[in-house]
Amino acid sequence: MSRINLFGPSKRKIWQQLAQRIDADFLKGNWPKADRIEAWHGDWVIVIDTYKAGKRIFTRIRAPYHNRDDFQFLIFRENVFHRIGKRLGLQDVEVGFADFDRDFVIQGNDERKLRMLFENPHIRELISYQPFIHLEIRTESPLFHPPFPKGIHELYFQHQGVLRDIEQLHDLYDLFAITLDHLCHIGTAYEDDPYFGQW
């Protein structure tokens, strides 16, 4: 009699399937590093892994790139606390698409570039698919990590918990690939290979 897996496929199995689907490398973890996926899109590498902060585990996706003009943004899904925050002065840039502006808080240091970025319908669609989204450009490495080389920033996503939905993960990979391409299109990223280091 076969054993029944009450919890479905393991994270490792799902991530291995994802790596095959997007033609990426799956690297088994060994302490202190967790399993990771490294997927090349052009000259950029998109890394999917997990990390622990205290007792909590996060899934994160990262892609370092050359930032030409120091453009930065942060987008996350609207909720009641953020609506209160906006009334208290939290900056929220509207990018000109009513449903999207209603559902998400968008912050950045260049309103024109924000509108150019989010005018891409594929980016808006892939973000809207996500039940949770925290997507940003990071200009500094987290504590205890080597600093980014000069001119290198990082497209970054994180989610509390371990993501095991292969379709959701695939959509996030597509979101990163399309966003990197569009950052080049609007003149804020270079297409050449950034120094990857030990991210």
Stretch 170-175: mean pLDDT: 98
**Band of residue 130 on the pLDDT scale cut at 50, 70, 90:** very high
Stretch 119-136: mean pLDDT: 96
CATH of the structural domain 11-185, one choice from 3.30.1460, 1.10.3470, 3.40.50, 2.40.128: 3.30.1460
The larger pLDDT score, comparing residue 58 to residue 29, is at: 58
For residue 3, pLDDT over 60 is answered with: no
Q: Are strands 73-77 and 134-138 parallel, antiparallel or unpaired?
A: antiparallel
* Model pTM score: 0.86
**Band of residue 25 on the pLDDT scale cut at 50, 70, 90:** very high
Q: Please return the burial class of 121, using the count of CB atoms within 10 Å of its CB with bins 0-12, 13-18 and 19+.
A: exposed
